[in-house]
A and B are shown apart, each in its own frame.
Chain A
Amino acid sequence: MTVTTLGIPRRLLEFTLDGEPVRAPEGTTLLDACRSAGKDVPTLCQGDTLTPKNACRVCVVEVEGARTLVPACSRKAEAGMEVRTDTERTRHSRKVVLELLASSVDLSTTPEVAGWLKEYEAKPDRFGPDAARVDEEPRVDNDLYVRDYGKCILCYKCVDACGDQWQNSFAISVTGRGFDARIAVEHDGPLTESACVYCGNCIEVCPTGALSFKSEFDMRAAGTWDESAQTGTTTVCAYCGVGCNLTLHVQDNEIVKVTSPHDNPVTHGNLCIKGRFGYQHVQNRD
């Protein structure tokens, strides 16, 4: 989280990060420590408003004495640890994990991943033309948002956001197992027959664009989506008295989607259906 909670003072731990001694408050994850020290570690399933599931394994680092690599996003720092973030071993695993992901799903709308693929010299093509992919038609079954599981990396963020970490609607979960595991609603039906309340909090946290606004999906299909031409304006939702912050993404004088700042201490980026999707009245000019 980007908000700093000023709780009771915590004990400082000392450990080494890439050979340099560092101090961090007790309870700090290795990822926090890396970021404070200005080190770059790639992450996908970690999200600033959620407890990570540590399932993607791109953030793995080496901890002296551990048999396997450990996920920096979830492992808490301990006094005396010797952590290395950029060794041949960590680079190898990150490279292969990126290759495995990029060969199985469409990462074209995942921010930053293109840079990591280059940085780690990943070659997703080397598994051959017959490598199994999650090639699924996007599910367009309502007017608000689209589920395109051909882009889903199974980071579990949407499940956690819809479930016990934020929304408590429990409309979606992981089904099946292994390579056939997918995010789905109950009985794998359409969203409209599920417990979904269209808060859009799952879209807010989805790192890949597998979940997207119908408006964005349609504009991308029409070739008119242009992020560089968009402006973001943060304002207060006009619907009720809670006062959630909304960021209106505007392209060509039209609101194209609504997000919410994650560092808002009240909402942490979560909204309800009205704040998230109820923006048509703003631009109804007839």
Chain B
Amino acid sequence: MDLHFGDSKPTDEERAAVDALLGPPESSWEGADRSDADLRWARGGRAARERRDLLLPGLHAVNDRIGWISEGALDYLCRRLTVPPAEAYGVATFYAMFSVKPRPATVLQVCTDLACAAAGASELCAGVEARLGLGSGVGVERSPCLGLCERAPAALAVKAGDPVRTAVSAPATVERAVLAASSPGSAPEEPSAALAVPQAGDPSLMLLGRVGVVDPASLDDYRAHGGYTALRQAFAIGPAGVIREVTDAGLVGRGGAAFPTGRKWQATASQPDHPHYLVCNADESEPGTFKDRVVMEGDPYSLVEAMTIAAYAVGAHKGYLYLRGEYPRALRRMEHAVGQARARGLLGDDVLGQGYAFDIEIRRGAGAYICGEETALFASIEGYRGEPRSKPPFPVEKGLFGKPTAENNVETLVNVLPILTGGASAYAAIGSGASTGPKLFCVSGSVDRPGIYELPFGATLGELLDLAGVRGGLRAVLLGGAAGGFVRPDELDIPLTFEGTRAAGTTLGSGVVLAFDDTVPLPRLLLRIAEFFRDESCGQCVPCRVGTMRQEEALHRIVERTGADAAADITLLREVGRAMKDASICGLGQTAWNAVESAIDRLGAYE
């Protein structure tokens, strides 16, 4: 590989941003001043290639400091990492949070997604744009779901600099959003994560029990509330014992695909190839989902402990926490927790003095829903475009860096704590049928008490909505987020289990429950869902890249039509939808038609 760089040079500030991450350059070949030693300097082979995975952190470093990524900055980063500039450009342009064109140092992202749209996002946007017009120094961007749906409508301000400043405004008014954008450094602290948990303080909660009870910054407080007993138990029964408990408990993945966790761990643990990796998927970009954020903000050490146990079970010594880029507070809390755990010997070479080495590296996403797909997530960490690949091979065999990898969702992992402390059989006794244990539901939309609810599997949709205080005039409920499906108000006795929702011809997905009353115009909502998928498609495969576009176009045409006037386009939608479901590479394209299809079939959206 003979890399070619243009003439653009980084500014001092851009160089400083990169050097702060990578250290000073070692040679003029990497961008330092020329010296005699450069004539005998070489970095090649593996040493050069092994730094590729720092590309995404490097892009963040520049984008955070400057607000956008110039040619000079990108080329300098490429020199430092031995990455071809064309590839790095392909990566930088993949993510929504990065810009390769100059833009204002402050960007205000205003969520226009489902819950926020129902809570008046378009008025908010219009108001904010009127106040922050040209010359205000703030760029206003419309954003997909920011994961703050319980406080919709939401906005996130990011002001580039050293350090970068962020401020969240939710529920946002024009006033508050403008204030957050103009001085993110002095914006008021967000409300406690516990406010997203209406049941907070209820002693029967197994997953959310500590949220609002412990100080999320204090490791001692975590330990005082039962922290690290599960890890001790794990060391007592050994890796095979942990896998046995998790299997016997019947734990299945909470990230949407509902795959049995014990089987995934067993398959990873038994791979002859090494090293093994553990990846925690905290990308959480499904519209309507915010549970992982609340867990990380309210009880961060529980995730550190759970990741340690999972890694121990699958034989991994390194874990990656891939955290969505739009979660500044969750990032701060997790960074602090990981740092504290490391300082106290709960991560590192000798965890708890048991001779087991494990550490966690946090990686920030940069605004791409598709990076939640497991193989896309690996590509993203490795410094490539977040494009999924066909399976097989499965991640347990060839995952991160081509090595056996167990990837789990945040909620899945924290379930391991009560399994180990309370025992598999007690855990398996909770819930119903094949769905065991407690489940988190993200309830938002037309309810009085939006937030995260923890219920044993098997509660009905109606019971959950009653808890959340559903408002009158319920028109539809979206289960499982944008990739899920709509159900009618007369279907509220659907049991919230994987098999129960399946039997009802719908899905539980990641646990989203979005309620819409009859003031919400359904065709507009469907259009927003279609727009989301068209925006978030990675663009790799034809059924999804073009199909999502054709789907949005057809929904545009029939937004004000019904019956015979819409029939031809609905036929078209069905045909395209079927091919997307059947022939797309990954779950994004395969599910992009589900919600619209269910709205047509179950709600009679265009009748």
Contact = CB atoms under 8 A, between A and B. Distances in A.
Nearest to A57: B583
A55 interface: yes
B237 to A, nearest CB: 35
A246 interface: no
Interface string B238-255: 000000000000000000
Nearest to B83: A170
Given A174-B90, A178-B536, A153 B542 contact: yes
B546 interface: yes
B539 A57 contact: no
Contact of B368 (A57, A95, A126, A177): A177
Contact of B87 (A54, A153, A170): A170
Contact of B557 (A58, A100, A128, A185): A128
Interface string A35-69: 00000000000000000011111101000000011
A251 interface: no
Contact of B550 (A100, A156, A163): A100
B545 interface: yes
A56 B545 contact: no
B89 A184 contact: yes
Output the residue of A55, A74, A75, A126 with the most chain B CB within 10 A: A55
A168 B102 CA distance: 31
Contacts of A60: 582-583
Contacts of A136: none
Interface string B545-567: 11111100110010000000000
A141 to B, nearest CB: 15
Interface in B518-549: 534-543, 545-549
B537 A53 contact: no
Interface of B: 1-4, 6, 71, 74-75, 84-90, 93-94, 100, 368, 370, 385, 390, 534-543, 545-550, 553-554, 557, 572, 575-576, 578-579, 581-585, 590
Contacts of A93: 543, 578-579, 582-583
Interface string A61-96: 000000011110011000000000000010011011
B85 A195 contact: yes
Contacts of A180: 539
Contacts of A171: 4, 84, 86
A270 B202 CA distance: 68
A128 B549 CA distance: 13
Contacts of B549: 104, 131-132, 178-179
A21 to B, nearest CB: 23
A57 B580 CA distance: 10
A221 interface: no
A216 interface: no
A66 to B, nearest CB: 10
Interface stretch (A111-119, A142-150, A186-194): A186-194
Given A68-B590, A71-B390, A178-B548, A53 B540 contact: yes
Contacts of B557: 128
What 8 A-B pairs have minimum CB-CB distances, sorted nearest first? Answer: A181-B539, A170-B84, A195-B4, A96-B579, A173-B90, A186-B85, A100-B546, A93-B583
A176 interface: yes
Given A92-B575, A93-B582, A93-B583, A178 B89 contact: no
B550 A54 contact: no
Interface of A: 53-58, 60, 68-71, 74-75, 89, 92-93, 95-97, 100-101, 103-104, 126-128, 130-132, 153-154, 156, 163, 168-181, 184-189, 193-195
B545 A178 contact: yes
Given A74-B390, A89-B582, A101-B546, A55 B2 contact: no
A83 to B, nearest CB: 15
Nearest to A180: B539
A56 B539 contact: no
Contacts of B3: 170, 195
A132 B75 CA distance: 33
A194 B583 contact: no
A171 to B, nearest CB: 6
A179 B545 contact: yes
Nearest to A58: B542
A68 B231 CA distance: 39
Contact of A101 (B88, B93, B542, B585): B542
Nearest to B538: A177
B543 A57 contact: yes
B417 to A, nearest CB: 32
18 contacts: A57-B542, A60-B583, A75-B390, A93-B543, A96-B543, A103-B546, A103-B550, A104-B549, A128-B557, A154-B542, A169-B2, A169-B4, A170-B86, A173-B84, A175-B90, A177-B385, A179-B534, A179-B549
B86 A179 contact: no
Contacts of B547: 96, 100
A173 B86 contact: yes
Given A56-B542, A96-B575, A173 B4 contact: no
A97 B539 CA distance: 14
Nearest to A102: B546
B85 A69 contact: no
Contacts of A170: 1, 3, 84, 86-87
Contacts of A96: 543, 547, 575-576, 578-579, 583
Nearest to A179: B549
A93 B74 CA distance: 40
Contacts of B71: 186-187
Given A57-B583, A92-B575, A131-B549, 8 more contacts: A53-B540, A93-B578, A95-B579, A173-B84, A177-B94, A178-B534, A179-B546, A187-B74
Contact of A97 (B75, B88, B390, B542): B542
A226 to B, nearest CB: 31
B86 A186 contact: yes
A59 B1 CA distance: 33
Given A54-B585, A132-B549, A97 B579 contact: yes
Contacts of A153: 542
B579 A92 contact: yes
A54 B387 CA distance: 12
Contacts of A92: 575, 578-579, 582
A103 B71 CA distance: 34
A60 B582 CA distance: 9
